[in-house]
A = this chain, B = another copy of it.
Amino acid sequence: MDLISKGWFSEVQDDLWPGQSFSLKVKEVLHKEKSEFQDIQVVETETYGRCLILDGIIQCTTRDEFSYQEMISFLPLCCHPNPQKVLIVGGGDGGVAREVVKHPLVKEVHQVEIDDRVVQVSKKYLPSMACGFDSEKLVLTIGDGFEYMKNHKNEFDVIITDSSDPVGPAVSLFHESYFELLKQALKEGGVVCSQAGSFWLDFDYVKKTMKGCSLHFPKVGYAVTSVPSYPCGHIGFIIGSLDANRKLEKPAKKFEKSEIDALNLKYYSSDIHEAAFTLPRWVEKHFYE
Contacts and interface: CB of A to CB of B under 8 A. Distances in A.
Contact of A46 (B18, B200, B228, B282): B18
28 contacts: A10-B23, A18-B47, A19-B45, A19-B46, A20-B22, A20-B23, A20-B25, A20-B228, A22-B22, A22-B23, A224-B226, A226-B233, A227-B233, A228-B231, A228-B232, A228-B233, A257-B281, A265-B281, A266-B282, A267-B282, A268-B280, A269-B281, A271-B284, A272-B278, A272-B279, A272-B280, A274-B275, A275-B275
Interface string A218-232: 000000101111111
A60 to B, nearest CB: 15
Interface string A36-66: 0000000001111000000000000000100
A260 B284 CA distance: 12
Given A200-B228, A269-B281, 9 more contacts: A20-B24, A20-B25, A21-B22, A22-B22, A224-B226, A266-B281, A267-B282, A272-B279, A275-B278
A253 interface: no
7 nearest A-B residue pairs (beta carbon): A233-B233, A19-B47, A19-B46, A275-B278, A228-B232, A275-B275, A266-B282
A67 interface: yes
Given A268-B281, A272-B281, A19 B10 contact: no
Contacts of A224: 226
Chain A interface size, as a band, is: 35 or more
A234 interface: yes
A261 interface: yes
A287 interface: no
Contacts of A18: 25, 46-47
Interface in A189-243: 198, 200, 224, 226-234
A8 B11 CA distance: 13
A48 B22 contact: no
A231 to B, nearest CB: 8
A266 B278 contact: no
Interface string A246-289: 00000000000100110001111101101100111110110000
Contact of A25 (B19, B45, B48, B281): B19
Most buried by B among A230, A232, A275, A280: A280
A18 B230 CA distance: 17
Interface string A66-81: 0100000000000000
A7 to B, nearest CB: 10
Contacts of A266: 280-282
A260 B261 CA distance: 37
A275 B225 CA distance: 12
